[in-house]
Amino acid sequence: MRMHDVIVIGGSLAGAACVRELERMGIDAIALERERFPRPKVCGGFLSPSAVNCFEQLGLADEIRKAGAVQVSSARVRVASVEVEILFERPGLGVSRSTLDALVACGARVEQGCPVHEVKRSGRVFHVNGMECSVVIDAAGKLSRFTKRRSVDEFGIQYVETGTQGPVLNFWFFDDAYGGSVSIERGRSNSCFLVKKDGLRRYIDGRDCLVTGPLAYDRLPGDFIAIGDAAGMVDPFCGEGMRHALETGMLAARVVAWGVRRGASYAEMKGEYETEWTRRWAGRRMIGAMIRRLLSHPLAFGFALRMSPARLLNRMWD
Phi, psi of 176 (to 5 degrees): -120, 10
Q: Which of 17, 32, 12, 11 is nearest to 247 (CA)?
A: 17
Contact 9, 137 (CB under 8 A): yes
**Quick one: CATH architecture of 2-317?**
3-Layer(bba) Sandwich (3.50)
pLDDT the model gives residue 91: 93
**Taking the CB of residue 95, how many other CB atoms lie within 10 A of it?**
27
- In 3-state terms, what secondary structure has residue 35? coil
Sheet (strand 82-94) strand order: 46-47, 82-94, 70-79, 168-173, 177-184, 188-196, 154-162, 210-212
Contact residues for 230 (Cβ-Cβ < 8 A; gap 6+):
10, 14, 138, 139, 140, 141, 142, 144, 146, 147, 149, 219
The tens-digit pLDDT sequence of the chain (318 residues) is: 689 999 999 999 999 999 999 999 999 999 999 999 988 899 999 999 999 999 999 999 999 999 999 999 998 988 877 888 888 888 999 999 999 999 999 989 999 999 998 999 999 999 999 999 999 999 998 777 787 777 888 899 999 999 999 999 998 888 788 889 999 999 999 999 989 888 888 877 666 889 988 887 777 778 999 999 998 887 776 778 899 999 999 999 999 999 999 999 999 999 999 999 999 887 777 776 666 666 666 666 666 666 665 555 555 555
Contact residues for 265 (Cβ-Cβ < 8 A; gap 6+):
124
pLDDT the model gives residue 122: 93
Contact 256, 239 (CB under 8 A): no
Contact 183, 189 (CB under 8 A): yes
pLDDT the model gives residue 303: 63
- In 3-state terms, what secondary structure has residue 256? helix
Q: Pairing between strand 149-151 and 216-219?
A: antiparallel
- Expressed in angstroms, the distance from the first to the final Cα of the chain is 45
Domains of the chain by residue range: 2-317
Which strand (E) or helix (H) includes residue 58?
helix 49-58
Contact 224, 140 (CB under 8 A): no
pLDDT the model gives residue 84: 83
